[in-house]
Structure 1
Amino acid sequence: MTDVAEKLATPTDLKSNDIKDVGDGLNRLLADSYALYLKTKNFHWHVSGPHFRDYHLLFDEQAAAILGTTDAIAERVRKTGGTTLRSIGDVSRRQTISDNDKDYVSAADMLAELRDDNLAMVESLRELKDIADEARDHATSAVIDEWIDAAEERAWFLFEAAQKG
């Protein structure tokens, strides 16, 4: 019987120890993406107040953008020979973005929490870029730049939406 790892082996010229670090970082990013996606959708479903429509649409747009990156993240793991997330439990073991299970969160607190989570994701992405650069995984490093820009933009929109006046 053929070993499962052998069936999933993807040819790569990258060193296995280095690429394992990249894969671990990408899987953590993927878990955080799902956690942030679900939190953003949670806030989309539960926002209320005078700016309901604006925030409802903003959260929905941001959730869609976050979800839109998940396949690319997982495929980077696979292209370099790794395996990726398999379950909600796997997500919960790897995520660094905290869940929010509160019954009520004010719109202002939603904006601030999502802004901070996106900025935390930017920080994690910068660390992952250093790991990818060290591993000479140029493709991962390049796409991380796009993900950083997208997370910075989300944080910026959330910050601006929270301004008074």
Structure 2
Amino acid sequence: MSHQRQVLQQAGTVEENAVRFDTEKAEQVVQALNLDLAASVVASHQLRKHRWSVAGPHSRDLGRFFREAAAEADRHADALARRIREIGGVPLSSPATFERHSPVPFEGEDVYDARTSLANDRDAYGDSIERVSSHIELAESLGDHATGHLLRGHLADLERRASAIDGLLAGDSLTDR
């Protein structure tokens, strides 16, 4: 059985779009959103890893926190990918591409104690907060207020999670695992 493939749009390109956002401006926004998309996917995987490996007396609460944070990162990734398509771009989609483009590095496959895992997540959230803030400014300076609105919602979620992690790290009760 022969399968004929038809490429509808090549990766890395931006085409005319239904929302009539200028393609030259859209290229800049798509590039920024793809960085945020990659960071969200990498963060989601790291948060899942932390959920799978957390142990100790607080493992249930921390596991729930990591599960909810990973689900939130997945929702962000989906919303970013949809917006990229709406303005005529192609969202990143392969694991290698996510890792290569993510401004937030994955901490690796080793298992760390809860405090170290949370500190790594706090650093990742801090980097994402700075980047998303600059992407809001970029999008709105180019006249893409819908993307600015989307990113403002993401920014509020990122700040809330970073604050929650700070609260968890402030406690003395986290065990070595």
Gaps of 5+ in 2: 1-5, 173-177
TM-score of the aligned structures, taking structure 1 as reference length: 0.91
Q: How does 1:83-162 map to 2 (within 5 A)?
A: 83-162=90-169
1:74 aligned to 2:50? no
CA RMSD between the two structures: 1.9
Contact 1:15 1:135 in 2 (8 A): no
Contact 1:108 1:162 in 2 (8 A): yes
The structure with the greater share of residues assigned to helix is 1
TM-score of the aligned structures, taking structure 2 as reference length: 0.85
Cα offsets for 1:82-141 (capped at 9, x unmatched): 111131122122111111224231111111111111111111101111110111001000
| Count of aligned pairs between the two proteins | 163
1:26 aligned to 2:20? no
Contact 2:16 2:23 in 1 (8 A): no
Contact 2:51 2:63 in 1 (8 A): yes
Q: How does 1:37-48 map to 2 (within 5 A)?
A: 37-48=44-55
In structure 2, the CA distance between the partners of 1:92 and 1:138, relative to structure 1 (3 Å rule), is same
Contact 2:115 2:169 in 1 (8 A): yes
**Structure 1 outlier segments of 4+, above 4 Å:** none
What is the CA–CA distance in structure 1 between the aligned matches of 2:149 and 2:111, rounded to whole Å?
Answer: 39
The share of aligned pairs that are identical, in percent, is: 26
Contact 1:20 1:82 in 2 (8 A): yes
In structure 2, the CA distance between the partners of 1:93 and 1:104, relative to structure 1 (3 Å rule), is closer
Out of 136-145 and 49-58, give the one that drifted further. 49-58
User: Which amino acid in 1 is paired with 2:45?
Assistant: L
What is the CA–CA distance in structure 2 between the aligned matches of 1:34 and 1:11, rounded to whole Å?
Answer: 27
